[in-house]
Amino acid sequence: MELGLAGRRVLVTGAGKGIGRGTVQALHATGARVVAVSRTQADLDSLVRECPGIEPVCVDLGDWEATERALGSVGPVDLLVNNAAVALLQPFLEVTKEAFDRSFEVNLRAVIQVSQIVARGLIARGVPGAIVNVSSQGSQRAVTNHSVYCSTKGALDMLTKVMALELGPHKIRVNAVNPTVVMTPMGQAAWSDPHKAKTMLDRIPLGKFAEVEHVVDAILFLLSDRSGMTTGSTLPVEGGFWAC
């Protein structure tokens, strides 16, 4: 399926690792021009070596002022992938203010800020665009020790719908992808305990976790004109977890 992404300028946050890195690699392979945003310079340096021509931007999206300085003059962007997130896991009775603030700063507030920058540019240029927010299966199902994380993703799903409502008249589509556990290095480390993994896998009809490319394929579809009549959706990439 031809996605028509060649030549499009795409900004990807959380680009240094996991889903974000896989998205940058896939976009680069299609001929898209990619702005890769990460808070870790070493990750960006290695990504530039892998994908010559991408534009690296090193900034902590939890810092509003620094983000404005780094991205306020980023130039024309056609497509956006809001992937950056933190997962600070604590039992509900032990949730700290620091974990709460950091989680909502990165997982929700940064999505608003970066999306505003990109959407304002699209509207000023009078061109259509697409935004994909990387959410989670935990946005709609409770997961032990994930009270803050699940809350940020539930909020992100609703933000996606409101953004779609308000930006639709400007021909900007906004969707979310909602993956299960993804076998990134971080996912492998977090779910390496067979007993812990079994508790989740038993809730997934397909009986397996997602690979990075499963999520990347969904993101690229939602960025492309092939999904031109889709906006405000939350696309599950979770092996049937929500069906149970």
Question: Catalytic residue numbers?
Answer: 149
Q: CB of 183 within 8 A of CB of 208? A: no
What's the gap between Cα 23 and its chain centre?
9
Strand pairing class (234-237; 172-179): parallel
> Which structure tokens are listed for 68?
């404005």
> Which structure tokens are listed for 163?
């953004």
Eight-state DSSP code of residue 62: T
Give residue for tokens 């702005």.
Answer: 35
Helices (DSSP H) in 34-184: which residue ranges? 41-50, 64-71, 97-104, 110-125, 147-167
Burial class (CB in 10 A: 0-12, 13-18, 19+), 162: exposed
